Amino acid sequence: DDALVQVEIAGLMHDVGKLCVPDEIVDKPFPLTPVEYSVMERHSFETYQILRHIPGMETVAEWAAFHHETLNGRGYPFRHKAERLSLEARIVAVADVFQALAQARPYRGPQPTEDIPRILGLFVANGALDPEVVALASEDLQASWLAATQTL
């Protein structure tokens, strides 16, 4: 199905904007300063800028760029609220958080697999992530974990 392929592309390309962020920020092994964090936040907007110029990728560009948007409107880069976020953008957002939890980062190791649904639940409780998408990701935890940790 074409829509599924497009969601997969959005998921794979959502961080392409990090190419515009200095490596010393992306790979920093401890917490970012407020200034560094604001630079890092730009990657979502840069993802949008890169992808929207590719013919046929305009919708994928939105889904990918919205991966840090939250249902409560406190996300970035556009501060969109739930009514502006498509199901596809919500799927990419949950996949991004799931992957961030499942994988090691320069500043911490991966979260235990069994803790991920509880942590995602905190994001739902705070109005950040879609509860139905989180429930689906948590339903088959092993398959979600494998998808989040596989390398290309």
Report phi then psi at 77, rounded to 5.
-95, -15
Angle between helical axes of 116-125 and 87-102 (0-180°, round to 10): 140
Give the active site residue among 6, 18, 42, 78. 18
Cβ atoms 64, 47 nearer than 8 A = yes
Please indicate whether residue 18 is annotated as part of the active site. Answer: yes
> Any idea which residues carry the catalytic annotation?
18
